[in-house]
Amino acid sequence: MKLSNDVKMNNYLDYSGHDDMLSGGVKMIPVDTPKGTFRVWTKRIGNNPTAKMLLLHGGPGLTHEYLEAFDSYFPIAQIEYYYYDQLGSAYSDQPDAPELWELPRFVEEVEQVRQALGLDRNNFYLFGQSWGGLLAIEYALKYQQNLKGLVVSNMMSSIPAYNEYAQKTLMPAMDQTALAQIKSLEAAKDYENPRYMELLIQYHYVYHVLRMPYEQWPEPVSRAFNRLNSAVYVPMQGHSELGASGKLANWDRTADLGEIEVPTLSIGAQYDTMDPMYMQMMSQRMQKGHYLYCPDGSHLCMYDDQKVYFEGLLQFVRNVESGRF
């Protein structure tokens, strides 16, 4: 689907006539909620009338920033794509309204953003990574009539299964002395103790979140993590980084995956916090599911297995565009 000449590339980069030209593609979108109307931040890059991808970031409560690796791959492939900070995240409004941090409301937020951006079943690809993947699954199960394609990256369709994987696979493989210290701090609810994060970084993050020395993590990743809104993250995910214990703890849509009819790509990685075999199984449950495996990657395999990740993601879009599914 990559266009072949500079004239067409110029069209991809031409923002004239767009209502977001003044702001370089940025648009603040009003979102109606039970607590009033708030604004969420989006940024469009490029033009492609048939392939437009909305990116749902992880967290909940992170920002779009750690997804900026897309800038190295999507423009040359001439896919139009949208960064988007969900309500409560740094670039969007951050209301002090705990009752808004509920999965069904986030689904309706995505639908309002879709409408405001003019995305529809002829062009709309929804991408979600981690929590964004959970949100993407939930959106598809309610609104798949609006989708052309779906991407679920680094997310299992069952939080109980994720917790079981952490307990039976990840934790036994950790340094047991470090794990005991982590568990002790968690039992004491001493999550703000600097030692808690030090242990997680040294014995968990650099093995399963992003397999690079921590001091070498890409700047967009560090920037996003530094902006995490714990007022959104903790109620939904829970305090512990070795499993989920918040409002999402019982979320499980595995039995419903067969209802997803649109072409769907499930992405898993060997060293992920999520079970790569489970994510492969998910692709087999979906009617037009496909699986991308990143053998050297972790939870952020768009960085530590970048070539495999983006080549597979772009090929999926090409296949949908060419009608191969």
pLDDT of residue 3: 46
pLDDT along the chain (325 residues), means of 10: 56 92 97 98 97 98 98 97 98 98 98 98 98 98 98 98 97 97 95 95 97 98 97 94 92 98 98 98 98 98 98 98 89
Catalytic annotation present for 64: no
DSSP calls for 155-169:
--SBHHHHHHHIIII
Backbone angles phi, psi at 255, to 5 degrees: -65, -15
Decide: residue 2, CB within 10 A, 0-12 exposed, 13-18 middle, 19+ buried: exposed
For the question of residue 16 being annotated catalytic, the response is no
pLDDT attached to residue 6: 52
Q: Is the dihedral of CA 212, 312, 291, 53 positive or negative?
A: positive
pLDDT digits (tens, 9 = 90+) for 202-242: 999 999 999 999 999 999 999 999 999 999 999 999 988 89
Choosing from 64, 89, 92, 130, the catalytic residue is 130
What does pTM read for this prediction? 0.96
In eight-state DSSP terms, residue 101 is -
Does the active-site annotation cover 18?
A: no
Catalytic residue among 93, 204, 299, 305: 299
Whole-number Cα distances in Å, 90 to 65, 84, 180, 325: 10, 11, 34, 38
Report the amino acid identity of residue 207: Y
pLDDT digit string (tens) for 128-161? 999 999 999 999 999 999 999 999 999 999 999 9
Give me the catalytic one of 85, 93, 272, 304.
272
